[in-house]
Amino acid sequence: MSSNSFRKVRTRSRRTPVAVRSPKALRYIQDVGQVGAAALLTVTMLGSSVVAGGLVGLAISFRNLPDVRVLRNYIPSETSYVYDINGKLLDNVHDEANREVVALNEIAPNMKRAVLAIEDSYYYTHQGINPAGIGRAFLANFKAGQTVQGGSTVTMQLVKNLFLSPERTISRKLVEVVLAMRIEQIFEKNEIFELYLNQVYWGHNTYGVETAAQSYFNKSAKDLTLGESAMMAGLIQAPESFSPFLDYEVAKRRQAIVLQRMQSLNWITAAEVEEAKAQPLKLGEITSFRSSQAPYVTEAVMKELTDQFGAEAMAKGGMRIQTTIDLEMQQLAEDVVADSYYRFFGSGTYADQIALVAIDPRTHFVKALVGGVNHESSQFNRAVQSRRQPGSAFKPFVYYAAFASGKYTPNSVINDAAVTYPDGYNYYKPRNYDGSFMGSITLRKALETSRNVPAVKLGQSVGINRIVEIARTLGIKSPMDPVISLPLGAVDLTPLELAGAYATFANYGWHSDPTLIMQVTDSKGNTVLDNTPKPQLVLDPWASAALTDVLQGVITQGTATNAQIGRPAAGKTGTTDSQRDVWFVGYVPQLATAVWVGNDDYRPLGRGATGGGYAAPVWQSFMQQALKDMPVEDFREPGEFIRP
């Protein structure tokens, strides 16, 4: 998007008229023999001039009219745009007016000439009102049997659009005239014309020449051809009635009227008229009601920015929002979620929803975010709004704490045997998923096979409060109680929180706050939000590398063999005791992804449901496709870092 599109409408310009070939070559009467028409024209001009002179005197009495000087600081409401990280448009957000503001010199000369030809050909010579023009318009329209010229000047139309109601009364017309003259005394012609072209309504909830050009012809206003310009100029008087989207032949007739008017003014030649008429016109689409290309993403972004800047700023402020999302990866993620839903879960027989979040560990930019199987049927964003128990997907926090304590290594031995802990007036006795015990095993084996009892014992050894502290350091903001069962996932988290934390493990302890928003600028191009990564080392690199080394075994020989993708990867399954929530969260050096599968009504998924069987295949499908063009990277070994 051009940086010029951020400029304020009120751009100072030289008082330079729109280029014409012969300003004096105005043809008022096509046939010199039409003496009667000429006489009528003369009388009309004289009478109109007298009326205009009287209006100048009346202007003094208009004490309560709007102060047109407020236009010095006027900024039209402008559409906000949301882009992916590569500049691809995801969505536009606007109130009633879908508008993008541009400077006058960013509008094609043909477009400016076409508008003036049909709306106000004497614009650069009158002072806001044009009595002679009113007479000429009356005769031209009478002769043609339809409206081919407007009686109001561009300045009068601007006044009507900005300050007045649409009622058709003599008093309102007088006010319009007075305000137009006042504006002409304060502002330069180019300033007024620029305001007009950015303010005028072009149909289909589209305001301003730039937005209209993008809608009707899928191009910027500066690139409009003569034929396109003439068609757009012909729409101003009745945009919906003349719209080429609704009746192309009517729009072509309006185009011809504008071209003929431009020729009669000697602004274009007969050959140019014929060439413009013959030019094939490729129409765009109505943009005001276009749906988002990534609705779960854009809704999350707009909610965050609305909370920060307010609803009006987002709907009218003309903000340019660059997200961290990669649209191709986002569309891939949406396709994988939808396909997996039908392929693995029988169209909701076992699970009715899936959420997925993918984060770049190097920046903590969210690259893809899917909040559900189908946004049209459910707008609830499970990726950021739904807190569900992670089960064993929480265990890496515990094992990291153990490694970082300096008391344990992946090869340390722990006893997987029955144990009981006092818990208030009761006792807590953790059990493994299969009800068995394995005796003395290494921590590596305990995590690969997702044993519960060793995780609880480690939690007691390093301290539950220490685990909570680590989770907070990794960006977990959800409520978290320091209960004995916390190591087994007795906490409700969002997929975004888990993906962000695992991304820090993948980056050996370097952390930035995960974000969907890279940068936001206002309508003038000023940066109002900049989320350039500022990573901080928040974890011990050796402990992070040791954890990653163990989590690779989860995929190669543990509970997540369904997540193998043909390259080094680390991750952890998660399954709650009730089988209501199943997870797989895993990563490679370039991408960390969390997948949750479950039911919105907390209905159990069924006996035997596990993260390795339900969530890992979804993760595998997404990662294989998302990484196909990325080089294979190995994880760094723990021995490359200093032990705590």
CATH number at residue 354: 3.40.710.10
Residues 253 and 365 in one domain: no
User: What are residue 99's phi and psi, to 5 degrees?
Assistant: -145, 140
Residues 109 and 246 in one domain: yes
Judged on CB neighbours under 10 Å (0-12, 13-18, 19+), 421 is: middle
Residues 233 and 361 in one domain: no
Residues 264 and 351 in one domain: no
In percent, the amount of the chain with pLDDT more than 90 equals 67
Task: Please state, in angstroms and rounded to a whole number, the distance separating the CA atoms of residues 442 and 546.
Answer: 13
- Domain termination site, one of 278, 298, 324: 278
Structural tokens at position 121: 């050909």
Residues 489 and 594 in one domain: yes
Domain that holds residue 433: 332-640
Q: Which residues, given as ranges, of the chain have pLDDT below 70?
A: 1-64, 66, 133-138, 140-142, 145-151, 164-173, 346-349
Q: Which pairing describes strands 517-521 and 320-323: parallel, antiparallel, or unpaired?
A: antiparallel
Q: Which of 195, 231, 226 is nearest to 216 (CA)?
A: 231
Residues 420 and 542 in one domain: yes
Residues 267 and 340 in one domain: no
Residue 45 sits in a domain whose CATH number is 1.10.3810.10
Distances (CA, A) of 573 to 69, 557, 610: 65, 13, 8
- Domain termination site, one of 232, 249, 278: 278
Structural tokens at position 364: 């903590």
Residues 242 and 155 in one domain: yes
The pTM (predicted TM-score) of the whole model is 0.78
Task: Please state, in angstroms and rounded to a whole number, the distance separating the CA atoms of residues 286 and 200.
Answer: 17
What is the helix (H) or strand (E) element at residue 270, kind and residue range? Answer: helix 270-278
30 within a domain of the structure (yes/no) = no
Q: Is 78 a catalytic residue?
A: no
HSE-up (13 A, CA, CB side) for residue 251: 22
Is 593 in a helix, a strand, or coil?
A: strand
- Residue type (1 letter), 552: Q
Q: Is 119 a catalytic residue?
A: yes
Residues 345 and 217 in one domain: no
11 within a domain of the structure (yes/no) = no
Task: Please state, in angstroms and rounded to a whole number, the distance separating the CA atoms of residues 68 and 266.
Answer: 35
Selected catalytic residue, list 106, 119, 176, 210: 119
292 within a domain of the structure (yes/no) = no
556 within a domain of the structure (yes/no) = yes
CB 97 within 8 A of CB 207: yes
Residues 273 and 338 in one domain: no
391 within a domain of the structure (yes/no) = yes
Domain count, the chain: 2
Judged on CB neighbours under 10 Å (0-12, 13-18, 19+), 219 is: middle
Return all residues near 289 (Cβ < 8 A) that are at least 6 apart.
Answer: 205
Judged on CB neighbours under 10 Å (0-12, 13-18, 19+), 127 is: middle
Length of the chain: 644
569 within a domain of the structure (yes/no) = yes
CB 605 within 8 A of CB 580: yes
Alpha helices, H only, 474-579 = 495-506, 541-557
Structural tokens at position 297: 């993403």
318 within a domain of the structure (yes/no) = no
CB 642 within 8 A of CB 636: no
Selected catalytic residue, list 340, 392, 512, 544: 392
Residues 343 and 263 in one domain: no
305 within a domain of the structure (yes/no) = no
* Number of other residues whose CB lies within 10 A of the CB of residue 513: 12
Residues 241 and 370 in one domain: no
Task: Please state, in angstroms and rounded to a whole number, the distance separating the CA atoms of residues 467 and 453.
Answer: 16
